[in-house]
């Protein structure tokens, strides 16, 4: 989870794509347990500002997972001057939480005088705006359930009652310059995520992060202390590059290994969607429904807008195998209701 900390992905992609692609037999109870134990938190790090329109659907809201002890560092990097104001019903929920503190769903229903669907709708709006979060990931999961016919929600194992308490997200005041300790934590996190970091790779990250020049100062300090290595690790890109010592060894090992021919299919929302960033050609939009297929570390096929595009020429049998691998989803059976 440390590799994914602070990465923003659509809320609907975390448990249907990103986590199942990394954890065999992923079950939602694992993430819930980590959240309830106080190890992991979820939130929209960068709240909408007053210049943006109303809240987007929860499913496409950029959500990040992070170690709860690091939450203050991340929110200090993502503060905004003028957050957007919620609707009147959502503001009623905000006012109740502000007055009485973190509250369970039933307490919000009783205390605000709103109907249960109205409170649920208000919480969805507040999550999309980056104003509230809950103790457990079950709260976000409940908001992601697909409505059944007639607009009613399906009866599933994921209910609002399992969310724990709902609380206001803590937001520090914006600062002219990012805190040095926050920038250094970000620099370390990016190294854990990618192994090797340089300016072009940062394009895959959130646009509100500190500029490369700030990260560069942090990386130079880490290199001077002997904690990381600087050099030329990836050909074809200008500027300074930095890497973890173990990543350098892994790069050498990969070069010595013969191709295995294995397929790796990922969602376009995955942090490893580096098509058009590390490879030639257009980028693949970071949408949950888009897909890309890697073979031996190289992108060979894309799926976007309902169409498949092959980046290499294959024999018919291999192309059929590639198409099958590309479109094969990683959604656990227990999470079909969220996909």
Q: pLDDT tens-digit profile of 235-259?
A: 888 899 999 999 988 888 888 888 8
CB-CB neighbours of 79 under 10 Å? 17
Percent of the chain topping pLDDT 70: 88
* Region 229-236 average pLDDT: 90
- Predicted confidence (pLDDT) at residue 172 exceeds the cutoff of 80: no
Residue 218, domain member (yes or no): yes
* Region 192-213 average pLDDT: 92
Same domain for 200 and 163, yes or no, is: no
**Structural domain ending residue among the three candidates 256, 280, 304:** 256
Residue 175, domain member (yes or no): no
Same domain for 281 and 321, yes or no, is: yes
Same domain for 103 and 240, yes or no, is: no
Residue 154, domain member (yes or no): yes
Same domain for 83 and 164, yes or no, is: yes
Name the pLDDT band for 285 (thresholds 50, 70, 90): very high
Residue 312, domain member (yes or no): yes
Same domain for 161 and 202, yes or no, is: no
Same domain for 87 and 158, yes or no, is: yes
Per-residue pLDDT tens digits for 66-95: 999 999 899 888 877 667 889 999 999 999
Structure tokens at 282: 């257009």
pLDDT for 56 equals 65
Q: Look up the domain containing 217 and give its range.
A: 180-256
């Amino acid at each position: 989870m440390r590799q994914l900390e602070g990465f923003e992905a659509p809320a609907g992609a975390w448990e249907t794509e990103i986590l199942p692609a990394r954890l065999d037999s992923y079950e939602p109870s694992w993430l819930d347990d980590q959240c309830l134990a106080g190890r992991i938190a979820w939130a929209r790090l960068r709240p909408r500002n007053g210049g943006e329109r109303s809240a987007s659907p929860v499913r496409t809201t950029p959500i990040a997972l992070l170690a709860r002890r690091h939450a203050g560092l991340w929110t200090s990097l993502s503060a905004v001057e003028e957050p957007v104001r919620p609707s009147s019903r959502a503001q009623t929920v905000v006012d109740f939480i502000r007055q009485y503190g973190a509250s369970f769903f039933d307490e919000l229903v009783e205390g605000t005088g709103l109907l249960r669907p109205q409170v649920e709708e208000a919480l969805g709006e507040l999550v999309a705006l980056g104003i509230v979060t809950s103790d457990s990931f079950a709260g976000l999961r409940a908001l992601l359930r697909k409505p059944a016919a007639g607009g009613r929600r399906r009866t599933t194992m994921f209910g609002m009652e399992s969310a724990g308490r709902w609380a206001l997200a803590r937001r520090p005041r914006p600062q002219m310059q990012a805190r040095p300790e926050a920038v250094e934590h970000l620099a370390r996190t990016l190294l854990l995520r990618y192994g090797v970091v340089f300016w072009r790779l940062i394009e895959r990250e959130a646009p509100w992060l500190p500029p490369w020049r700030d990260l560069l100062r942090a990386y130079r300090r880490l290199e001077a202390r002997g904690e990381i290595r600087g050099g030329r690790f990836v050909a074809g890109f200008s500027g300074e590059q930095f890497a973890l010592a173990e990543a350098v060894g892994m790069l050498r090992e990969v070069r010595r290994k013969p191709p295995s021919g294995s397929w790796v299919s990922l969602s376009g929302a995955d942090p490893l969607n580096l098509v058009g960033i590390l490879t030639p050609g257009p980028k693949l939009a970071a949408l949950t429904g888009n897909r890309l297929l890697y073979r031996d570390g190289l992108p060979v096929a894309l799926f976007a807008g309902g169409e498949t595009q092959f980046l290499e020429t294959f024999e018919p049998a291999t192309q059929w195998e590639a198409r099958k691998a590309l479109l094969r989803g990683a959604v656990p059976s227990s999470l079909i209701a969220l996909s």
